[in-house]
Amino acid sequence: MTVNTATIGYPRIGRNREWKKAIEAYWKQETTEAELHNQLHELYVNQLRIQKDKGIDFVSVGDFSYYDHMLDTAVMFNIIPARFKKQNLSALDTYYAMARGNKEAEACEMTKWFNTNYHYIVPEFTDVTPALNENRPLAYWQKAKDELALNGKPLLIGPATFILLGKGFKQEEVSSLFAQLTPLYIQVIKELHEAGAEWIQIDEPIFVTNKAEGYWKEVEAFYQRISEEVPGANLIIQTYFEALDNYQSVVNLPVNAFGLDFVHDERKNSEAIKAHGFPKGKKLFAGVIDGRNVWKSNLIEKAALVSELQKLVGKEEVIVQPSSTLLHVPVTVETEQELPADIRAGLSFAEEKLTELELLKDLLKGDSEAVKAHQQEIEAFSKVANRVHTKTRAELEQIDDQALSRASVAERQRLQKEKFDLPLLPTTTIGSLPQTAEVRSKRLKWKQGQLTNEQYEAFIKEETKRWIEVQEEIGIDVLVHGEFERTDMVEFFGERLGGMLTTKNGWVQSYGSRCVRPPVVYGDVYLVEPMTVKEIVYAQSLTEKVVKGMLTGPITILNWSFPRTDISKYESMNQIALAIRKEVKALEEAGVHMIQVDEPALREGLPIRAEKQAAYLNATVEAFRLATTGVEDTTQIHTHMCYSKFDDMIDTISALDADVISIEASRSHGNIISSFEQYSYDKEIGLGIYDIHSPRIPSFEEMTNNLDRALRVLNPAQFWVNPDCGLKTRNEKQVIDALTQMVNVTKKYREKLAAVAQ
């Protein structure tokens, strides 16, 4: 029996984040464009070589990117906003200007990719003329052919996903966009087919949502045209992250294969095949290895699933692969030798998942000996000591509704205004301040034992003191300590909470060149000892102004970690919430009475399917309130959320019952403000008035316009002024210049409001 394996995509960043370092060196003008191309070419070829050497039969090519795959598609099809075209930059610099902005133009909007922690650049279809600038998949396919004699599976983002995840068009214009893009896709696919590409992968993850339902005639017309114009091309419609929303309609499309997720579908894809059958003679690319989590797969169970699919579809028609691109997991466990051996035994990163595919292939061919060691490692992990923390489980059982409530919003606001006595439109930042090369160097030396604990702590205190003084000089009203002791807002807590651990090199791309190391939740989570009190109390001792305590919330800690799979995510979330509740109380007892519990990933965990969303949102409210309601009414609880649409979850945001919430609003060009036009929001709020993900410093007028736009629908008495997000990725000059501008805008606006009041 022939069993073939495939990949959908692979991490771009390299074992040691070579990708990130090469790109950022180009941005800093430390290398030339030619050098960047050479470095990334070498990295791309090496990633293909790894997959080929692992014996993968169908290797995706063209998933590699210089920043983001949706941005790649936009530039390929000339979906380039006029504000960038008129600058007459090189093609590469136009590409990066769209992603990051520059002095002349704001960056394109960025938002999350379905329910993942990856963020993509949103295509803008306003006033553009689609055209084929370059057959990008062909170029990458040809590189694989030339360098490795590999006839790879070129990848394109499909038109439904590309268009419907974009912006800048009206509903009635969707048909026109399909019509304009169809001949361009035909040209790309025809050139690939004529060059010799045996299979072509078209990613349509939008099909696991209901967003394409209203445009199904356009979808059918597109794929019909492709089948007529390039009849010999073998096309795969690839989906992931969930079950198909409309199975029968999708599998009736005139293509040669379908890629489905059999890990995150809750068996709905399998049930649909049983109920409705599978098109005869077509291939099923079955995603059976989890592409989004880091635990080894039980290959005995996976083989049973594949055997079931083979009976339904045909033994020769099923190709096994990961459930999604491996972009969402670290590169290899080989670099994690310092982890406890029994926990490490249970882990599988991208390279190891390729090995799992080959082991699964052997098992399906009847070689059960090949997987014996693999299954023994899973068994060893299941017996890890201290995975159950009985005290935490007992404490959670004792939590009742009364423990999750506080006084009314109006009463808390009255008490807190008396306590803090802040000016109208108080200014603050989201939390982190620049993590300079010196900060990172000192941290590395400390971890390597080249600095003592005392030396490192003294350095952190120096940085904290310096930035308290900088903030005071700028005129910020509510200060932060800067988080110089923290590598990352989730990793920091993953290092300190029981039941979690962090990796040495388990990097995953979050957006652009920004990489994070998600912690691993391997057991029950609990607070070992206070995690943040010492640094916050020290910062508060340096100033008469209020310094916010800074914590990451339970929803974000879990959503930005790799969760365990033997208990529900909601149970893990509440365990983390209980730990954060204890930390919040420890801060309050130490004299910290303004505490920010950030939840930038609240929406990122929102299930794709509508019927699952209410349960998730209810669970997030419970977890957040569990984390934050154990304080006095005079203690002000803040939270922060990043790039999200809120009009469909404004009730949830209000139900969190945070005293102050800050939300991204600048890169979305203020569109989020519309969420509050019809909703009477009674808490305090800050809509970020400038984009920290771009190195450009917005003008006085731009910030004023963003503030003015927000105050058209919100009461100045409830409004805070802040940047979009934390400032750790920006350099000191950018931060000081931007915050100074922000404070000057606020002061001017206060004068304007005072004049109107008179």
The rounded distance, in Å, linking the Cα atoms of 231 and 181 is 19
Contact (CB, 8 A) for 576 and 624: no
Tell me which amino acid residue 581 is. R
Nearest to residue 492, comparing CAs of 449, 556, 448? 556
Average pLDDT, integer, range 212-220: 95
Which token pair is 419?
């306590």
| Residue the block writes with tokens 């007892």 | 589
Tell me which amino acid residue 416 is. Q
User: SS3 for 54?
Assistant: coil
| Residue the block writes with tokens 């709905």 | 268
Strand ranges inside 573-727, DSSP E: 594-598, 636-641, 660-663, 684-687
Average pLDDT, integer, range 507-526: 96
pLDDT at 515 over 90: yes
In degrees, rounded to 5, the angle at the alpha carbon of residue 671 between the alpha carbons of residues 666 and 675 is: 120
Average pLDDT, integer, range 643-647: 63
First to last CA, the chain: 85
**pLDDT, tens digit (0-9, with 9 covering 90-100), for 720-732:** 999 988 888 889 9
CATH class of 1-57+255-263+275-384: alpha beta
**pLDDT, tens digit (0-9, with 9 covering 90-100), for 373-405:** 999 999 989 888 889 999 999 999 999 888 899
**Which residues are known binding-site members?**
17-20, 112, 117, 430-432, 483, 514-515, 560, 598, 604, 640, 642, 664, 725
The rounded distance, in Å, linking the Cα atoms of 62 and 402 is 54
- CATH tag, 421-490+526-757: 3.20.20.210
Q: What is the β-pairing status of strands 594-598 and 549-552?
A: parallel
The rounded distance, in Å, linking the Cα atoms of 538 and 277 is 65
**Interacting residues of 317 by C-beta distance below 8 A, sequence separation 6+:** 278, 281, 282, 283, 284, 310
Domain 58-73+109-238 coded CATH 3.90.1150.10: no
What DSSP string runs through 553-587? Answer: -HHHHHHTSB--SSS-HHHHHHHHHHHHHHHHHHH
- Lowest model confidence (mean pLDDT) among 281-285, 456-460, 690-694: 690-694
The rounded distance, in Å, linking the Cα atoms of 188 and 565 is 41
Residue 133, CB half-sphere, CA atoms under 13 Å: how many?
A: 15
What DSSP string runs through 184-251? Answer: HHHHHHHHHHHHT-S-EEEE-GGGGSSTTGGGHHHHHHHHHHHHHHSTT--EEEE--SS--SSHHHHH
**Would residue 119 show up in a list of annotated catalytic residues for this protein?**
no
The residue annotated as part of the active site, out of 69, 119, 328, 693, is 693
Q: 1-57+255-263+275-384 and 421-490+526-757 share one CATH topology?
A: yes
pLDDT at 78 over 70: yes
Reported confidence tier of residue 2, pLDDT bands at 50, 70, 90: confident
Instruction: Look at residue 671 in the predicted model and tell me its pLDDT.
Output: 59
Q: How far is CA 408 from the centre of its chain?
A: 34
Q: Choose between 565 and 646: higher pLDDT.
A: 565
Mark residue 88 as left, alpha or beta (left: phi above 0; alpha: psi -120 to 50; beta: remaining).
left
Instruction: Look at residue 672 in the predicted model and tell me its pLDDT.
Output: 66
Give the global pTM. Answer: 0.91
Nearest to residue 603, comparing CAs of 648, 667, 657? 648
How many other CB atoms sit within 10 Å of the CB of residue 440? 11
Reported confidence tier of residue 689, pLDDT bands at 50, 70, 90: confident
The burial of 537, by beta-carbon neighbours within 10 Å (0-12 exposed, 13-18 middle, 19 or more buried), is given as: middle
How many other CB atoms sit within 10 Å of the CB of residue 225? 17
| Residue the block writes with tokens 């073998």 | 234
User: SS3 for 344?
Assistant: helix
Reported confidence tier of residue 649, pLDDT bands at 50, 70, 90: confident
The rounded distance, in Å, linking the Cα atoms of 621 and 662 is 17
**pLDDT, tens digit (0-9, with 9 covering 90-100), for 24-53:** 999 999 999 999 999 999 999 999 999 999
**pLDDT, tens digit (0-9, with 9 covering 90-100), for 454-493:** 999 999 999 999 999 999 999 999 999 999 999 889 999 9
Nearest to residue 145, comparing CAs of 74, 44, 31, 244? 44
Average pLDDT, integer, range 110-129: 93
Which token pair is 533?
């009190």
Instruction: Look at residue 667 in the predicted model and tell me its pLDDT.
Output: 57
Instruction: Look at residue 714 in the predicted model and tell me its pLDDT.
Output: 87
**Which residues are known binding-site members for L-homocysteine?**
430-432, 483, 598
Tell me which amino acid residue 363 is. L
| Residue the block writes with tokens 């995840």 | 165
What percent of the chain is predicted at pLDDT more than 70?
98
**Bridge partners for 562 per DSSP:** 520
Q: How many residues are given for the chain?
A: 758
Average pLDDT, integer, range 622-646: 90
The rounded distance, in Å, linking the Cα atoms of 422 and 438 is 34
Contact (CB, 8 A) for 567 and 525: no
Distances in whole angstroms, Cα of residue 688 to Cα of each of 429, 715, 717: 9, 16, 16
* DSSP H or E run through 668: none
**Interacting residues of 495 by C-beta distance below 8 A, sequence separation 6+:** 501, 502, 519
**Bridge partners for 577 per DSSP:** none
**Which residues are known binding-site members for L-methionine?**
430-432, 483, 598
Instruction: Look at residue 670 in the predicted model and tell me its pLDDT.
Output: 54
| Residue the block writes with tokens 């469909």 | 648
Instruction: Look at residue 694 in the predicted model and tell me its pLDDT.
Output: 76
The rounded distance, in Å, linking the Cα atoms of 12 and 3 is 27
The rounded distance, in Å, linking the Cα atoms of 177 and 218 is 10
Instruction: Look at residue 153 in the predicted model and tell me its pLDDT.
Output: 97
**Which residues are known binding-site members for Zn(2+)?**
640, 642, 664, 725
Show me where the domains of the chain are located. 1-57+255-263+275-384, 58-73+109-238, 421-490+526-757
The burial of 275, by beta-carbon neighbours within 10 Å (0-12 exposed, 13-18 middle, 19 or more buried), is given as: exposed
Average pLDDT over all residues of the chain: 94
Average pLDDT, integer, range 62-67: 96
Instruction: Look at residue 645 in the predicted model and tell me its pLDDT.
Output: 64
Instruction: Look at residue 712 in the predicted model and tell me its pLDDT.
Output: 85
Distances in whole angstroms, Cα of residue 136 to Cα of each of 72, 90, 171: 8, 17, 29
Which token pair is 339?
């982890």
Strand ranges inside 25-66, DSSP E: 60-61
Which token pair is 568?
């529900």
